Chain A
Amino acid sequence: MIEFRNVSKAYTSGLEAVHNANFTIEKGEFAFLVGSSGSGKSTIIKLILKEEEPTSGNIIINGKDTTFLKPSRIPYLRRSMGIVFQDFRLLPDKTVYENVAFAMHVVRATPKHIRRQVPMVLSQVGLKDKANVYPNELSGGEQQRVALARAIVNNPSMLIADEPTGNLDPNTAWGIMELLNDINLRGTTVVVATHAKDIVDKMNKRVIRIDQGNIIRDEKGGYDGEI
């Protein structure tokens, strides 16, 4: 599903954010990408999204090497991924419903399909009653749920989350994690970049740990090793 082969990324400033990364995340897997801030996990996310190009090595997504993907094909690559950020990135002047429907407009879904799909996804994330509310009237956790709904509304084969709980208190954060787990159980591959040790320990999933651009550990368990 997601495969890194000898991937290195150096920024023009000379900083090598990722050094010779090798890993494969299989279809249906749940994987954490952990490390302190500046460790290179955000760069790995950007490489998966093809927001950044690797300096060397190959990145294979859904069986296709994206290294030589034409820029005009990038949107289609991204349609196979749902993306969630730390800062939610909702549109403040659109309602919850519109924020989710927006992602469907973008991929040119039919109005009929949108009317059916959006309420379904909103109830999946537990926001059925908040469809007509604006994001600033929601709590942080609820906003992140909207972002999650938007990420999965087009049925992507994988969900990429960059610090999804970074702005949330522990209880709310756990709710989001359970939702991610739930999405994973429905068959979606989930990759979560985080430095929230307690959550990673509690989930007991595969952990890819990065330190100063190097993958130093890749196994099932907690943040620091087997539990």
Chain B
Amino acid sequence: MKYNSFGYLIGEGFRSVAKQKKMTSASIIIMCATMFIFGVFYLIGENINFIMKQVESQQGMRVIISDDATEDEISNMETEIRSIDGVNQITFYSQEDALASIKERLGGNLEILEEYESDNPFPDSYFVTLTDLTLNTQVQEQIMQIKGVEEITARDDTMSSLATVANGIQMATIALLIILVVISIFIISYTIKLTVYARRREISIMKYVGATNGFIRGPFIVEGIIIGVVSALITLAIVGLAYNSAINGILSSSVIQIINMTLYSFKDIFLRLLIVYLVLGTGIGIVGSIISMRKYLKV
């Protein structure tokens, strides 16, 4: 006589949403508002991370190779640096490359450089970029221990301040996420509490005829999920529209063109945001409904 009652539970969940129209729409609106705020921060955070990545790939350190390093030591050095955690790319610049780039920067044949042609004062070096700017100090320490390294030049202060900014934004987004999740759970559990209260008689009868707690919870969890998912989809649409118009404004402004950075388009970020929202929505829905049920299951 065991029978999969999935269909029955889902049907009951939808019926309850339909019956409690006012409360359901109220909680969907509030959920949308909190998810919208979160979405704005999330998108700002994602874009700042994106910009950080672009900056990071341009930032790097120059590892100056000592004049008396042998050919072997120089090539070993590359393998060793490559194996350090956090190193992104490593490029070799010979004395000649260094001279050439200086020449280019100074605009061609300056007399001052002529004597360098015969006696090049520039050292060989590696240019090392990082995957994560916070690892800057660690990587530098490790590189300094490699044989044949003379010194490292880097704009440490720029790198570390950028890293601090990025970390700060990440922390703020996480903190905000936690706060908003708590608020949303509270809201959704309150709504479901009202449905549960309206149906407490039914629940007590269910208990007497031998319904398991899982079976009783079913429709309310479905209700929570419906509220969560509907809110997620509505918010996603609103955020999408808002984001697109904001991005168009920003990208056409002169500032962003001068610093030569790009931002995510909504298309790039859509899938990630959809997943985040759906996970949040269903998660909040489930937790909220379980919280709201606890009291009434003790019969």
Enumerate chain A interface residues (CB-CB to B < 8 A): 49, 51, 72, 75-79, 83, 89, 91, 102-103, 105-111, 113, 150, 154
Contacts and interface: CB of A to CB of B under 8 A. Distances in A.
A94 to B, nearest CB: 9
Contacts of B212: 72, 75
A91 B202 contact: yes
B208 A154 contact: no
B1 A89 contact: no
B1 A113 contact: yes
Kindly state the interface size class of chain B when it binds its partner.
20 to 34
Contacts of B1: 107-110, 113
Please give me the 3 A-B residue pairs with the lowest Cβ-Cβ distance, nearest first.
A79-B210, A78-B210, A106-B211
Given A91-B201, A108-B5, A72 B213 contact: yes
Given A106-B211, A107-B209, A113-B1, 7 more contacts: A75-B212, A77-B210, A78-B210, A103-B209, A106-B210, A107-B210, A108-B3
Contacts of A49: 208
10 contacts: A49-B208, A75-B210, A78-B210, A89-B204, A91-B201, A91-B205, A109-B1, A111-B3, A113-B3, A154-B210
B208 A108 contact: no
Nearest to A84: B208
A108 B215 contact: yes
Contact of B209 (A51, A106, A110): A106
A109 B210 CA distance: 12
Given A91-B201, A105-B8, A110 B3 contact: yes
A72 to B, nearest CB: 7
B102 interface: no
A103 B206 CA distance: 7
A75 B211 contact: yes
Interface string B106-146: 00000000000000000000000000000000000000000
B140 to A, nearest CB: 59
